[in-house]
Structure 1
């Protein structure tokens, strides 16, 4: 009778007939710990699942001296859907799938327990497949297989084979224990890949459905929404999409630069939806620390922390049946992302300090100006949360991409100012022309502030071009962005290019990113990474002076508190180059 068991008895160690050393007393604890560590690194890497599983098998074969490892992942019908072995490549994937020991795999899946076969040559489960295991002379080949589980369901198997001398029994219980741990890790990884794949497929299907509905119903309804002003094509398309999206309960992610009106579109989606008579609750995630944000969203029980004198409902409870708008969703911490994911997935949560599970029905609308794809790649934002909130993405264009809306928005803001202040101001065509030439890096918010500031300081009933700050050299946009206005060129000639930045010998100064530090005093917008027409009016006199190498170096040192390493980062140089430049220009280092 062939020897077959779940876990074999403990045998004595034997020398390896092939010259290698697989006949040790099972897998030693040190080797097992190192193997688990290396396998965990492989499973957390961002690769295709087939390649990840093949790398796991390679570790089992190389580090742990296990021969011919194989991972088989089953499809819903129980057939091998994915097979990874030592030396797996996409070219030989179909050939490997045809050589799976199906009977042994079926027994492991049916019993959901490990399987140990001491001699595959004498076992009926491997009839016709003995050549797969390459037996060594005077030695026997044993098979060890364990189930791969996701929760309680068997989704595949992990198997290896070992060489042992048939004259004595070999210890397999340590190998079974180790392979079971590896199989648990593999099962969780496969489950995570399946969840991400299903979310991605659902996102694609939802996007296609909405695009189809938008194509069919474009122009069927008036392209206006409460509070949204604009006649440009991008705005009309967004409003049409918002009308269709509002009918469902799908999560919406609003993306765009700061000041483009993301909260306005979130409110419009709520008011166009069947939830319009329910609450619209908004939360700025970047304005609150993590502990306070958790209490704000989930609420807290009395005595949950110091100062919690009474039970308080969270924003999720307050938004029950309505819409919850989470602004700056990209700024929440990874720890809080996991807590938020459960609410979005199950609709359940507990108040801080409580143990009662609450269930809510909330339509989620999120907004961010952060590159979430890059944040996911860096590990700063969870991929599963990204797919949950990015069901229907709406990208709001900046104001510079829809200049036709500037006049409409400006006159609407002036009318609102007149109503609030009981005045009767109007705007001349020359004033509108000034606004049309502006760049507005702050988008609609900056345009509104510009109109309100000009209307507040206007001395006459008609606002002209001379009433704007650009005419007196006090344009806030120019001061903020250190821009320089190019001279107007004839209609038949292109606008002149701004001068090149002044280099700091021997290494040229690189542009300083806006997101890292305040902009340095450079002689052109192009050097600062901004369009050359900011603020874009010929009347604007706010221009940046020319700075020498010494002055640029002094400016960087002052801004960095005379820390050479920080000044080097500002100027995109190395600390050694900063030291050379300081000595060259005779600048003494200030000591604090």
Structure 2
């Protein structure tokens, strides 16, 4: 996917085909929005301050974070990426802050944790909006004081780390809902970066398309090209999955072609019609309240039916009701566990733990 901008690209590209290549990867584009973003990256890179990157899924937030690291004074240090939504609730604090041997059951060896592993480098915290309240407080201390307390230790340890955070969620709304700390939000957004969705910069699509086709041709030793009308079709699409979706669509278009084939407008239109149908199905199910008929949770007996002659097993009813909502959320998101957790207002690690421990049949 798209990434990185070199601090001093050479030779300078012509305005019609801007493609920056840096140690972190490549960002391809020449739209005013991309030029503004890249200028901000270059402005922020030298300063050892927290950066908050916001943008929809598939826009390349980690690649921008890597470029901030590669363009700054910590470039020779480590870059550690942690997706906090994937951390298990029971071990998340250890993964981030480390532990000493014997800190808890199963802690058989010392663990540095992500902060200490990133010493003199950059720690990228992706999906920061999924942090539990306890971890939010710990992250705030680490960012403000540059101190952490590994599990099992009493004294704080100093950490020399630059933190870059990212999210695709509306943290301001989460603050109003009481699910995200305002003090942490204010601390994280010292240097904000917003990555525009692809639909706001269609002029970048031809450049991105050529970039991904070159990558495909190099990898598979082919000479696949794309017709102008196919590029026009791609530019007319709204790309809810952004650059990642564009790359995946181009791969699907390349697979059935001969090594020297050309992607046609008709082929691009057919693939995008399928993409749109799939997206609308997911979107409509996600917005339904309650979930649609195909994924509706079960309903238990009405309390008015409860009599001494007709007792109920409330635990079983609640268990089956919860299972039904889990099933509905997974169905509405086509198995995306993080999205399903958000639909139910749950923390993704807690959702995953419940699936493993109580509803493992839903994973089959």
Q: Same fold (TM over 0.5)?
A: yes
CA positional deviation for 1:437 = 1.7
Which of 463, 474, 481 lines up with 2:262 in the alignment?
A: 463
**Structure-2 change in CA distance of 1:562 and 1:342 (3 Å):** closer
What does 1:7-406 correspond to in 2, within 5 Å? 224=20, 226=22, 227-406=26-205
Q: What is aligned with 1:182?
A: none
Query: Aligned residue pairs: how many?
Result: 286
SS in 1 for 2:53: strand
Q: What is aligned with 1:557?
A: 293
- Whether contact under 8 Å (2:226, 2:264) holds in the other structure is no
CA positional deviation for 1:436 = 1.4
Q: What is aligned with 1:449?
A: 248
**Structure-2 change in CA distance of 1:237 and 1:407 (3 Å):** same
- Whether contact under 8 Å (1:454, 1:467) holds in the other structure is no
- Whether contact under 8 Å (2:198, 2:242) holds in the other structure is yes
Structure 2: stretches of 5+ with no match in the other structure: 1-11, 303-320, 330-364
Q: What is aligned with 1:414?
A: 213
How far apart, CA to CA, are the structure 2 residues paired with 1:443 and 1:402? 10
CA positional deviation for 1:264 = 1.1
How far apart, CA to CA, are the structure 1 residues paired with 2:95 and 2:220? 35
**Structure-2 change in CA distance of 1:411 and 1:302 (3 Å):** same
Query: What is the CA RMSD across the aligned residues, in angstroms?
Result: 2.9
- Whether contact under 8 Å (2:97, 2:115) holds in the other structure is yes
**Structure-2 change in CA distance of 1:515 and 1:317 (3 Å):** farther
- Whether contact under 8 Å (2:234, 2:268) holds in the other structure is no
Structure 1: stretches of 5+ with no match in the other structure: 1-220, 484-510, 521-555, 571-592
**Structure-2 change in CA distance of 1:256 and 1:377 (3 Å):** same
How far apart, CA to CA, are the structure 1 residues paired with 2:165 and 2:264? 39
What does 1:541-556 correspond to in 2, within 5 Å? 556=292
How far apart, CA to CA, are the structure 2 residues paired with 1:246 and 1:360? 19
How far apart, CA to CA, are the structure 2 residues paired with 1:559 and 1:332? 28
CA positional deviation for 1:330 = 0.6
How far apart, CA to CA, are the structure 2 residues paired with 1:355 and 1:253? 30
**Structure-2 change in CA distance of 1:482 and 1:350 (3 Å):** closer
CA positional deviation for 1:291 = 2.7
CA positional deviation for 1:351 = 1.5
1:427 aligns with 2:163: no
Q: What is aligned with 1:94?
A: none
CA offsets per residue over residues 258-314 of structure 1, 9 Å max, x none?
Answer: 111111111111111111111111100111123322111111111222332211111
SS in 2 for 1:291: coil
CA positional deviation for 1:253 = 0.5
How far apart, CA to CA, are the structure 2 residues paired with 1:482 and 1:424? 35
How far apart, CA to CA, are the structure 1 residues paired with 2:27 and 2:121? 21
More relative contact order, 1 or 2 (CA 8 Å, 6+ apart): 2
TM-score (ref. length: structure 1): 0.45
- Whether contact under 8 Å (2:42, 2:68) holds in the other structure is yes
How far apart, CA to CA, are the structure 2 residues paired with 1:512 and 1:482? 5
Q: Which has the higher helix share?
A: 2
The worse-fitting range, judged by mean Cα deviation, of 350-359 and 309-318 is 350-359
SS in 2 for 1:325: strand
TM-score (ref. length: structure 2): 0.72
**Structure-2 change in CA distance of 1:382 and 1:309 (3 Å):** same
